[in-house]
Amino acid sequence: MTGLVRFQSAAPNRHGRHPGVFALANGLRDAGHLPHDDVVWLREANARATAAYVDPTTVAPDCYDPVLHPGARAWFRASALHLLLMCEPYLALLDRHGVAWMELRTSTPGRITYEDDVQVVAVPHAYPADWPFATHPSA
């Protein structure tokens, strides 16, 4: 698998998850923390994103299913520069409103539940089942 990029919250939410960039931006709006101009921008930006990119749940409805695929999360392909560039204003919005986020990169996101040419949805590796090294019994 080629390189993957994810933008997510720096701290977990009350469910112990790290929401991605779009969930964070929409969460600001839903909580009433955005001024009118940002709400308008977000509505238009979300519409452009929806028109340009496939929503994985429209192709694989259960790709985020919490029972089948606990903790599944979306990653952007590093080669999808147009998608990564589209994220920049979303990240700037988070910065303006003091929402801490971080960028993750990997080539091994976990068990794939959906993929297309610009994105992957994967269930992260669960320790210890996915630990890549042999373990030794303690002395």
Q: Count how many domains the chain has.
A: 1
**133 assigned to some structural domain:** no
How far apart, in whole angstroms, are the C-alpha atoms of residue 89 and residue 87?
Answer: 6
**72 assigned to some structural domain:** yes
Tens-digit pLDDT profile for residues 23-50: 999 999 999 999 999 999 999 999 999 9
**59 assigned to some structural domain:** yes
Q: Are 20 and 74 in contact (CB under 8 A)?
A: yes
Q: In the chain, what percentage of residues exceed pLDDT 90? A: 87
How far apart, in whole angstroms, are the C-alpha atoms of residue 48 and residue 80?
Answer: 16
Give the mean pLDDT of 13-31: 96
Tens-digit pLDDT profile for residues 102-124: 999 999 999 999 999 999 999 99
Q: pLDDT value at position 106?
A: 97
**119 assigned to some structural domain:** yes
- Helix axes 36-52 and 81-96, enclosed angle (nearest 10): 160
